[in-house]
């Protein structure tokens, strides 16, 4: 549907467990950063969406495959690609790689909510248009 967005991430000591490998939940943080930076690259800041559109984005579901571990101080590339856009949700296919080696994959569904009521809300038109042109 859209181009693949890539965001570089370095593994910090705080990202690892006692064995020096990335703690499993921290991969979700890396994916979140890539989605946030993808929106930013499209001209949308999440705090401004809250202020001007009264919308927030929340994770609705996650499916993750842990294939190989990442370790302290490694440079990773985190991808984000939109594969499905509905009226109030976005589904991303995401991958974490080290060089050309796939370490982790995920399918993440994001819901769009009204920031006041926390009920589903339509994705703002300007964002939907930007997605369609990406």
User: The pTM is what?
Assistant: 0.94
pLDDT in tens, 64-94: 999 999 999 999 999 999 999 999 999 999 9
Whole-angstrom Cα distance, residue 22 to residue 98?
A: 13
Provide the residue ranges of all domains of the chain, joining segments of one domain with +: 5-133
The alpha carbon of residue 57 and the mean position of all alpha carbons in its chain are separated, in whole angstroms, by 11
pLDDT of residue 134: 63
Q: Which position has the token pair 């060089």?
A: 99
CATH architecture assigned to 5-133: Roll (3.10)
Beta strands in the chain (DSSP E): 5-10, 55-66, 75-85, 89-98, 101-114
Catalytic residue among 17, 47, 116, 125: 17
- 15 is known as an active-site residue: no
């Amino acid at each position: 549907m859209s181009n693949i967005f890539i965001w570089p991430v370095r593994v910090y000591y705080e990202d690892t467990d006692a064995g020096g490998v990335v703690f499993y939940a921290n991969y979700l943080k890396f994916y979140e950063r890539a989605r946030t930076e993808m929106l930013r690259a499209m001209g949308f800041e999440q705090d401004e969406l809250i202020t001007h559109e009264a919308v927030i984005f929340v994770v609705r579901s996650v499916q993750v495959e842990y294939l190989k571990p990442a370790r302290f101080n490694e440079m990773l590339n985190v991808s984000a690609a939109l594969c499905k856009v509905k009226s109030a949700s976005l589904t991303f296919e995401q991958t974490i790689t080290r060089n050309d080696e796939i370490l982790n994959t995920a399918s993440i569904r994001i819901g769009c909510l009204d920031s006041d009521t926390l009920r589903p809300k339509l994705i703002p038109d300007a964002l939907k248009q930007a997605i369609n042109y990406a």
